[in-house]
Chains A and B, each alone.
Chain A
Amino acid sequence: MGYVAVTAGEEIIERAEQLFEKRRVSGDSESLGVDQLDDHLGRLTDRVMSESGLYAPRLAALAAKQAQGDTVEATFLLRAYRSTLERFDETPIVKPGEMLARRRVSPAFKDVPGGQILGATKDYTQRLLDFDLVDGDATNPTGEWDLDDKGDPEQLTTVTELLREEGLLYEPDEPDFGEPIDTTRESVTHPPDRDAVLQALARGETGAVTALGYSALRGYGQVHPTLAEVRVGRLPVRIEHPYTGEAVTVTHTDVTESEAVVPVYEKREDPQFAFGYGLTFGRNERKVIGMTVLDASIQLDSEEEPAENAEFVLDTVDGMDSFGFIEHLKLPHYVTFQSILDRIRSIRDSQDVPDDGSRGNRRTDADDTSGSVAGVNSDD
């Protein structure tokens, strides 16, 4: 049977899309504004920006609205938009130490310089449904706060710097890493450099990053780190001004950062810490901790555990890749399936299997049939 191109259903596809769009407007509630999404569901837009690798809060909210809350679909929309744009430049390299943190907790050091700043979090309270939100939540619970002026925001000393001061973290010898790879423009080759790993993980799908990081903690890996700190704050986005050449700040990106220490004293002559690092757009502590575990695991460079195998992690962590492969299975495979049917029928005919499915005179010699069915599958 030859390949047959068919065309059908354009109008039906449009109707299906219209039915999808109807859902947004068919309820009795007011239309959801993009600003509302950005204001009220910031974690949603943060996740879309993080996984698309594009910092654009308002467009992320628009994408989330268009995708009806499906984060991966929204990520697809944002990446598709991004692919139409020209790149102006790469920014001068910024150090995360420049972050103006709104939240910083260190599970490792109780008395970390700058203090444990909880910031906006519900980490330490019960997860119970708040039925008061059903009728709105117009009250600002911080309205009664009597705030002292704490001056301008401070850059907090990172735990990495503290460890380095004590000689517990190695001091790189004036590293000259050159231009970092850009995985949006260059294919990743294996084994990948760490800059490729960090970029790929930073735009990885939250569930995948979390699950693979979790796998290492559950025993499918050697890394069980202590988090040096988790920080949420803003990083400056700078360019060189085209007239003056000065570094100037265009905007700031909200980011989440995590650093972890991993004791590896049994493996090295000089007992120091190894480390893991995570940084991503938006507020997403779950993902960035998973990224930290994976960064530390991948540095072990092993094929024995999934989380320590860079190729495995990078091949499975991208939401676009997995979304595309998994969801393409529901698209028409008529030709493929017809081919499978033809081959199975041919095998059955050659073995005299009756049409009613009974074994009939079918030969049972396993040597005669081995490889046939497997062969069908491998052609798919």
Chain B
Amino acid sequence: MTVDGFGTDVERYTESTERILMRSLWRVSIKCMVDPHDRADRFELIAASEEATLARMANEVLEGDPPLSVRQEPRPKLLMQRVREPVERRPFNLGEVLVTPAEVTLSEVRGFAMVPGKAERAALSGAIVDAAVAAGHELTPAIVEAFEDLEARRRVSRRQRWAESKHTAVEFETMEDQQ
């Protein structure tokens, strides 16, 4: 049993030396910030994961042929993004966001995922991974480790973008003699 029916072939993930070093540096600070064992944190980590990574995890979970039923087929759906305008504080509908949700039961434990875009394979894989961690599957430590790495990379990326933006912050110089 695999999730490959929902997309392209999975490319095996290979870990570089640099990545191993970065992971060891990041994990200490990241562990206290997100908890992949927590449903909410795990949901966000799954949503931010690459499709290939989720598919690899899901296929490894399914290698043991655990009982799996799909409660909600992965199909693209819409989320209407609502925003509150800041002056009158009036809510309005900004527009819709394309997402793909999926829900499964794996070994009698439910798993749910929603990923951005039209991504059926990622959504189904994410739901399987969510259920696997909730069920305490034997691969849970490896999945948790992968999610901690992901969060570390996301944090570095966020800080990098912010540092780049701040690098363009204007520092005005008052021209005294022209006042």
Contact A180 B47 (CB under 8 A): no
Which residues of chain A from 119 to 178 have any CB-CB distance to chain B below 8 Å in the complex?
A: 119-120, 142, 145, 147-154, 158, 160-161, 169, 172, 175, 177
A243–B112 Cα gap in the complex (Å)?
Answer: 8
Stretch touching chain A among B2-10, B20-28, B139-147, B154-162: B154-162
Contact A152 B162 (CB under 8 A): yes
User: B172: shortest Cβ distance to chain A, in Å?
Assistant: 6
Contact count band on B = 35 or more
Is there a chain B Cβ closer than 8 Å to A76's Cβ? no
A224–B90 Cα gap in the complex (Å)?
Answer: 23
A153 partner, pick from B118, B162, B170, beta carbons under 8 A = B162
Cβ–Cβ < 8 Å partners of B115 in chain A: 250-251
Cβ–Cβ < 8 Å partners of A119 in chain B: 165, 168
B82 partner, pick from A82, A90, A117, A120, beta carbons under 8 A = A90
User: B166: shortest Cβ distance to chain A, in Å?
Assistant: 5
Closest A residue, CB atoms, query B169: A115
Contact A59 B98 (CB under 8 A): yes
Cβ–Cβ < 8 Å partners of A145 in chain B: 164, 167
Contact B86 A95 (CB under 8 A): yes
Contact A56 B118 (CB under 8 A): yes
B81 partner, pick from A55, A97, A142, A181, beta carbons under 8 A = A55
Is there a chain B Cβ closer than 8 Å to A223's Cβ? no
A87 partner, pick from B80, B90, B116, beta carbons under 8 A = B80
A53 partner, pick from B39, B40, B95, beta carbons under 8 A = B95
Is there a chain B Cβ closer than 8 Å to A362's Cβ? no
Closest A residue, CB atoms, query B77: A88
A120–B118 Cα gap in the complex (Å)?
Answer: 28
Contact B86 A90 (CB under 8 A): no
Contacts A56-B117, A59-B118, A116-B170 given; does A88 touch B90 at CB 8 Å: no
User: A86: shortest Cβ distance to chain B, in Å?
Assistant: 5
Is there a chain A Cβ closer than 8 Å to B19's Cβ? no
Stretch touching chain B among A23-31, A192-200, A341-349: A192-200
Main secondary structure of the interface of B (DSSP, over half): mixed
B98-138 contact mask (Cβ, 8 Å, vs A): 1 or 0 = 11010100000010101111100000000000000000000
Contact A183 B93 (CB under 8 A): yes
Contact A158 B77 (CB under 8 A): no
Q: Which of B78, B85, B101, B112 has the most CB of A within 10 A?
A: B85
Contact A101 B165 (CB under 8 A): yes
Contacts A55-B95, A59-B118, A119-B168 given; does A85 touch B87 at CB 8 Å: no
User: A241: shortest Cβ distance to chain B, in Å?
Assistant: 6
Contacts A55-B81, A237-B97, A243-B39 given; does A150 touch B86 at CB 8 Å: no
Which residues of chain A from 238 to 260 have any CB-CB distance to chain B below 8 Å in the complex?
A: 239, 241-244, 246, 248-251, 253, 255, 259
Closest B residue, CB atoms, query A201: B92
Cβ–Cβ < 8 Å partners of B39 in chain A: 241, 243-244, 246
Is there a chain B Cβ closer than 8 Å to A301's Cβ? no
Contact A248 B87 (CB under 8 A): no
A304–B85 Cα gap in the complex (Å)?
Answer: 27
Contacts A88-B79, A253-B97 given; does A117 touch B166 at CB 8 Å: yes
B80 partner, pick from A91, A244, A249, beta carbons under 8 A = A91
Contacts A160-B86, A172-B88 given; does A180 touch B166 at CB 8 Å: no
Stretch touching chain B among A206-214, A274-282, A322-330, A363-371: A274-282
Cβ–Cβ < 8 Å partners of A56 in chain B: 97-98, 117-118
Is there a chain A Cβ closer than 8 Å to B94's Cβ? yes
Cβ–Cβ < 8 Å partners of B165 in chain A: 101-103, 117, 119
Contact A237 B86 (CB under 8 A): no
Contact B162 A194 (CB under 8 A): no
A97–B83 Cα gap in the complex (Å)?
Answer: 10
Contact B77 A87 (CB under 8 A): yes
Is there a chain A Cβ closer than 8 Å to B89's Cβ? yes
21 A–B pairs (Cβ distance < 8 Å), ordered by A: A54-B96, A55-B95, A87-B96, A93-B83, A96-B83, A96-B86, A102-B161, A145-B167, A148-B163, A151-B159, A152-B159, A175-B88, A175-B90, A180-B90, A182-B80, A194-B90, A195-B90, A195-B93, A198-B90, A242-B103, A250-B116
Given contacts A160-B87, A198-B85, 14 further A-B contacts (CB under 8 A): A54-B78, A54-B97, A85-B78, A90-B82, A115-B166, A117-B169, A152-B155, A158-B86, A195-B92, A246-B39, A249-B44, A250-B79, A251-B115, A280-B95
Q: 4 closest A-B pairs (Cβ-Cβ)?
A: A251-B116, A56-B98, A195-B92, A88-B77
B residues in contact (CB < 8 Å) with A:
39-40, 43-44, 47-48, 75-99, 101, 103, 110, 112, 114-118, 155, 158-170, 172
A residues in contact (CB < 8 Å) with B:
49-50, 53-59, 82, 85-97, 100-103, 110-111, 115-120, 142, 145, 147-154, 158, 160-161, 169, 172, 175, 177, 180-184, 194-196, 198-199, 202-203, 235, 237, 239, 241-244, 246, 248-251, 253, 255, 259, 275, 277, 279-281
